[in-house]
Amino acid sequence: MKINEIVEALDASLLAGKDQIEKNITKCGASDLMSDILAGLSEGCVLLTGLTTIQVVKTAMIAGVGAIVFVRGKTPPPEVIEMAEIQGIPVISTPYSMFVSCGRLHSSRLTGLDGAR
């Protein structure tokens, strides 16, 4: 699933990474615990979270996350968007909850980290 398709599926706004709308994402993970991200996400996944701190981008960099989606209509501070842009990580904001966002992505054929449909 491409970044522009994720934005469309989530009725979202692309806040960073406009040059990466064709980037392909194959799996999705969701958590507000950054330790879970480090333990569970694989390279190129999309991360859904409600946290909007700089630590989310730093964790995404270490874990190899392909894109970040902020749920519940949250918009991160400018320094978070700037760091993500510098690191080449697309940042998306959706009005939907984490649960609904995961469901919408799953129904759009994106799998979870375990690859199960």
Distance CA 22, CA 15 (A): 15
**Is there a domain that residue 115 lies in?**
no
Triad 83, 87, 89: Cα angle to 5°: 95
Provide the token pair at 20.
């990466």
Q: What one-character DSSP code corresponds to residue 75? A: -
Q: Report the range out of 23-37, 55-69, 102-116 with the highest average pLDDT.
A: 55-69
pLDDT band at 26 (very low <50, low <70, confident <90, very high): confident
pLDDT attached to residue 43: 77
* Tens digit of each residue's pLDDT (9 = 90 or more) over 93-107: 999 999 999 999 999
Count of the separate structural domains present in the chain:
1
Would the CA dihedral through 104, 26, 45, 11 be positive or negative? negative
Tell me if 82 is assigned to some domain.
yes
Q: Which residue has the higher pLDDT, 44 or 107?
A: 107
Q: In angstroms, how far is the first alpha carbon of the chain from the final one?
A: 15
pLDDT at position 16: 97
pTM: 0.93
* Domain harbouring 105, CATH code: 3.40.1390.20
For residue 30, is it within any domain? yes
Helix, strand, coil percent content, the chain, rounded in steps of 5: 40, 20, 40
Q: Rounded CA gap, 48 and 41, in Å?
A: 11
